[in-house]
Structure 1
């Protein structure tokens, strides 16, 4: 087994923790809830930075995303209490499944929140932190576009095109969302 293989597997052919964690995180970020969260957080940063301090924007983002996440969990639980066989799904299992399915929405706010927190603690100028938080959202959408094309065995040109289209639509939705806020 080569050095490269040793970093990818541990034990009897099972993936190593870093590879599994990376895959788990990307899969959580690559859901409709996470993409919605990325757009929501980036919009909140774009709108909030003109009116509030970095700390206030950070609190607003955490509160807003938390409420939207709870709303998604609530809606999923209410709408999915029946199994495919027509039997009632236990409430605990329904809540767990809904929370797990929508966890990407919470993950979407982590990196922008860290960027804003650096300004809150005075480590970075607030405008620098705002721009970093904004670009994190845009770059995350770009990475999702690239990796999805790669998963579909797209050529290098198709990966680039997918990245550009995903990013452009993301920017358009962020811009439209900021207009209504």
Structure 2
């Protein structure tokens, strides 16, 4: 497997995509009077809770006998941590912009909106990578990237509206 494929398969996971949508939705539903630090704290706590729930669910689901092999709770937990890391990775970049806004390095409004925008950019990059992996020409990659980002935006808006 080429280096590109290893990177792509390490990065483009359902957990990273779902985590990107979740962190964007949490940021989107922040109260208008919340400052960036409050949004930062709510986002990090929410993502940690979702990550812990995902680790737990994966560990419970994988504990026992799988494919004729006994998987102990320790191994199932380690597998859950490994499998779920994308949920945590997804919120790193938006959290950086929120903390930059909270500390005054960026204007708070700029930090907030960049934190929201970066999620769609990440989804667009992931879409580009997925189409590139299939060997699609660059125009198809670009359309796939835009489509992925826009679909992610629709999901974030729906999650925010339904919150």
TM-score > 0.5, shorter chain as reference: yes
**Match for residue 129 of structure 1?**
111
TM alignment of 1:117-156, pairs within 5 A: 117-156=99-138
- Which aligned pairs between 1:42-61 and structure 2 lie closer than 5 A? 42-61=24-43
Q: Which runs of 5+ in 1 are unaligned?
A: 1-14
- RMSD of Structure 2 on Structure 1 (CA): 1.8
1:165, CA displacement in angstroms? 1.5
Distance 1:173 1:28 in 2: 23
The equivalent residue for 1:33 is: 15
Report the Cα offset of residue 99 of structure 1: 0.7
Tell me the distance in 1 between the aligned counterparts of 2:117 and 2:31.
Answer: 14
> What CA deviation, in whole Å up to 9, does each residue of 1:104-142 have, x standing for no partner?
110011011010001111111110001110111000000
Q: Which residue of 1 aligns with 2:50?
A: 68
**2:55–2:80 CA contact under 8 A, matched in 1:** yes
The more displaced of 47-56 and 161-170 is: 47-56
C-alpha distance in structure 1 between counterparts of 2:143 and 2:31, whole Å: 31
Question: TM-score, normalising length from structure 2?
Answer: 0.91
Counterpart position of 1:12:
none
CA distance in 2, matches of 1:131, 1:119: 10
Aligned to 2:158: 176
State whether structure 2 residue 99 is matched by structure 1 residue 114: no
Q: Unaligned regions of 5+ residues in structure 2, if any?
A: none
Q: Is the 8 A contact 2:64 2:72 kept in 1?
A: no
Mapping 1:94-105, distance limit 5 Å: 94-105=76-87
Q: What's the CA shift for 1:83?
A: 4.1
Q: Give the ranges of 4+ consecutive aligned residues of structure 1 lying more than 2 Å apart after TM superposition.
A: 26-29, 82-88
CA distance in 2 between partners of 1:87 and 1:155 (Å): 43
Q: Could you say what secondary structure the match of 1:176 adopts?
A: helix
